[in-house]
Amino acid sequence: MAEMLTGGCQCGAIRYTLLAPHRTADICHCRMCQRSSGAPFVAFAQFRAEDVRWDRGAPQLFRSSNLVDRGFCPACGTTLTYQFRPHGTVSVTLASLDDPNAIAPRAQMGVESRLAWLDAALALPGKATDKSFGGDLAEMVSNQYEPGRS
C-alpha cells in the first residue's frame, strides 16, 4: 500500500485511516449482508483490527450473529464494518473509502443468495447525476460529504 487509505460515513461523523495493506477483498451476497446494508451485496476489504485507526468517532456495533459484529454510523446509518470476533479482523466497506476504487474485490461469497436480477441490472440504461437529472437531486448529491471537510 503506497499511501494510507482513508474513509468514513456519509455525514462525516466517523472517519478512519487504514494503516496497512488489506488481507483480502470480497463481495458478499449472503442474506445477512443484504439485510444489514439494504443492498444486493456488500464489498469489503479485511484488515487486522489494529490496522484500522478511528480518527473521528467510531462505529456503533450490532451483534448480527454469535461471531460477528457489524459497525455503522449512529448518526447517518452508513454501513462501515464487518468484524469477525474470533479472528480479530475488521472488514471495511469499500464504498465507505474516500476512493472506493482503491481496492478491488477478488472473490464473491454467499453466491447462493446472489439476486437473480443482478446481471440484468448492470445492463440497464444509465444516466449521470447532473443538472438534467433533476436540479434538486443533483444539488443534494453535490453537497454531500467531501473528504477533508471538518
Per-residue pLDDT tens for 35-46?
Answer: 999 999 999 999
The residue extents of the domains of the chain are 5-117
Contacts (Cβ under 8 Å, ≥6 apart) of 35: none
Per-residue pLDDT tens for 65-89?
Answer: 999 999 999 999 999 999 998 899 9
The three cell numbers locating residue 2: 503506497
pLDDT of residue 136: 66
Per-residue pLDDT tens for 101-129?
Answer: 999 999 999 999 999 999 999 899 988 77
Query: Do 41 and 33 touch, CB atoms closer than 8 A?
Result: yes
Tell me the pTM: 0.84
Task: Measure the CA–CA gap between 139 and 52, rounded to whole angstroms.
Answer: 33
CATH of 5-117, one of 3.40.1390.20, 2.170.150.70, 3.30.365.10, 3.20.20.150: 2.170.150.70
